[in-house]
Each structure stands twice: as C-alpha cells, then as structure tokens.
Amino acid sequence: MYELDCSGVIPGCQRVIRAETQAEVFRRAVVQAKQLGVEKITPTMLDTMRQKTQELSN
C-alpha cells in the first residue's frame, strides 16, 4: 500500500491518497489535481509526488 499526502504537492488539495501501487497513487493524484483546476502537471510536481509518496508497512 502506498500513500501520498497531496497538501503541499497539489495546490488546494487536502486529501491523503492511498492505493496498492505507486502508479495508482499518481493516477489518482493527477485526477485530483485536474478536479482542483490544475491544467498542467509539471515535471516538478511529478518529482514532488515521487518524493512524498510513502510505502506503508502492512
């Protein structure tokens, strides 16, 4: 299980996104960003997502 606290990554986001894979966390984060009006996901934003995504221990 992976987790991303998207506050500080996506402007206006206060969610914690959890999913079984990192790819699914990123996909959900991109969907969330678009819902919040972010038109373009920048390389910097993707790098920050990668850095802040944590693998949770079971």
pLDDT tens for the chain, 58 residues long, are: 999 999 989 989 999 999 999 999 999 999 999 999 999 999 999 999 999 999 998 6
Q: What does the pLDDT read at residue 8? A: 85
20 contacts 39 by C-beta, under 8 angstroms: no
Q: What does the pLDDT read at residue 58? A: 65
**How far apart are alpha carbons 5 and 17 in whole angstroms?**
6
Q: Per-domain residue ranges for the chain?
A: 2-55
Q: Whats the size of the chain, residue-wise? A: 58
